[in-house]
Amino acid sequence: MAAIHITDIEAAINHWRHRAPSPDGVALAPEIEALGETYALMVYHRQTAIGEDRLPARALAAWQAWYDTTPDTPCIAICSTSQGDDLCKGCGRTFDEVQHWPAMSPAEKRVVWRRITLEHSAWRFNRYAERAAEGASPRKPPAL
């Protein structure tokens, strides 16, 4: 069973804080309460991860709802594993991770996302990603 990292719990809490802000600065949305309790216990016990099977049902449901808003795959459509590389230059996943991605649980996928983000060596994190983002910006009208 894969473990959910504390940074994912934080991201889910922030997602719900934005989506369901407190009306009076005191009351919390049920999702924030569930995730907050888990987060507090993790901090208290100095845990950086919790098994998805150990997450209370309400917290797991809130985390899953956050997860559903994130990109499913790190793929940038430049797959070097199809050319024989053990590690994809485009997304940073191993050949096995690319092959088994559809069968992986959300927590397993987040473990991979965390690893490739920390490694920060795949093309998705370098100048290629910046150029792709630049290409997505609206074009300026030609000067007259």
Q: What is the pLDDT of residue 126?
A: 79
CA distance readout (Å), 12 to 46, 56, 69, 107, 121: 19, 15, 10, 13, 25
pLDDT, tens digit (0-9, with 9 covering 90-100), for 20-46: 998 898 899 999 999 999 999 999 999
Phi, psi of 120 (to 5 degrees): 55, 35
- Whether residue 2 contacts residue 107, with contact meaning beta carbons closer than 8 Å, is answered with yes
What global pTM score does this model have?
A: 0.79
pLDDT, tens digit (0-9, with 9 covering 90-100), for 60-114: 999 999 999 999 999 988 888 888 888 999 999 999 999 999 999 999 999 999 9
Nearest Cα neighbor of 55 from 21, 144, 47 is: 47
pLDDT, tens digit (0-9, with 9 covering 90-100), for 112-128: 999 999 998 888 887 66
What residues pair up with 143 in beta bridges, in sequence order? none
Q: What is the pLDDT of residue 136?
A: 56
Q: What is the pLDDT of residue 124?
A: 84
